[in-house]
Amino acid sequence: MKSKPKADVSTDDLAARAGWMYYLAGMTQGQIAEELDLSRQRAQRLVARAAADGLVHVRLDHPIAACLNMEGALKEKFGLQFARVAPSLPDGSDSFRSVAAVAAGEIERVLLQDPDMVMAIGTGRTLRAVATEMIDLECPGHSLVSLIGNSNFDGSASFYEVIQRFAEKVGARYYPMPLPVMAKDKVERDFYRNLPHVARVRERAENCDITVIGIGEVGHNAPLVVDGFMTSADMAELVTDGAVGEIAGWAFDSNGHYLKEGANDLINGVRVDPSDNPIICVAVGEAKHEGLLAALKGKLINCLITDEACAEFLLRDN
């Protein structure tokens, strides 16, 4: 569904939105005019203004009022430390890049606040897009550590493992979790956890200063199943037990409570529990709505970066 700007938005807001569509969504000025219900000439002027006034440099430098209002409402409703809402791109455009650009800037800001932090990182397509959008930093005092194993049952590596990408952008040492995402049974799980080098990585992740994660969907088309990290039977059991989403492989229900049995017992990684330290969740897409709402209800996350469409869903009377 198209999201037309309201009539009372400022010219800067319109210019920023037009520039966002032009530079991130790759839309033509004619398409922008149609989407925003403007003349082609005005759309052309708005795009030109966005560039001339420095409102958009791939990053959005002018905060759109509607997004700011949603950020405040999300903070108040869910008790968040901060919320960032990226302008939604029109139907058919890849919203990942829009949210990733905003998330990259926010994560850079957090990392530059302190020269010596441990950041625990999840995995997935969204976080990979964030790493791609980040600029190169020089933060050798930081340490990056993975929250979850990085291979599947046959030993092949995860295509969406992102810790190395983040480390390259941050210029910091990193600690992957050198394990399969899931163990075959509890005996194998305990063996892995007791390996000295794994125990050290787990301890670092458990005592991190900041956490960056995505929200994983559940179901037969979930990435954990499609990419071979979890069997269809394990996933079916999670869904039967009420799972609506997962964070770093750990499934939770509609109240944001982690399931106590099943596949959760076999995850080779560190569970993200409620904390006063920043837990930054980057999420976009309708498939993430239910899981994201549940994670917010359960206080599993306390910082959120998303887009307008997702924010609108979260701010309804759910």
List domains and CATH numbers for the chain.
Answer: 1-62 (1.10.10.10), 65-314 (3.40.50.1360)
Q: Determine contact, residues 259/243, Cβ cutoff 8 Å.
A: yes
pLDDT at 4 > cutoff 50: no
For the full predicted model, state whether its pTM sits above 0.85.
Answer: no
Q: Determine contact, residues 165/142, Cβ cutoff 8 Å.
A: no
Task: Work out the average pLDDT over 272-288.
Answer: 94
The DSSP line for 194-234 is: HSHHHHHHHHHHHT-SEEEE--B--STT-HHHHTTSS-HHH
Higher pLDDT, 185 or 8: 185
**Residue pLDDT, tens place only, 45-97:** 888 888 777 776 656 666 678 888 999 999 999 999 999 998 877 665 667 77
**Residue pLDDT, tens place only, 201-236:** 999 999 999 999 999 999 888 888 888 888 899 899
- How far apart, in whole angstroms, are the C-alpha atoms of residue 293 and residue 127? 19
Q: Quick one: pLDDT band at residue 40, thresholds 50, 70, 90?
A: confident
**Average pLDDT over the chain, rounded to whole?**
88
Q: Quick one: pLDDT band at residue 20, thresholds 50, 70, 90?
A: confident
End-to-end CA distance of the chain: 20
Helix%, strand%, coil% for the chain, nearest 5: 45, 15, 40
Q: Which two tokens stand for residue 39?
A: 């003349």
From residue 80, give the alpha-carbon distance in Å to each of 174, 280, 302, 304: 28, 10, 5, 8
Q: What is the CA radius of gyration of the chain?
A: 20
Q: Quick one: pLDDT band at residue 5, thresholds 50, 70, 90?
A: very low
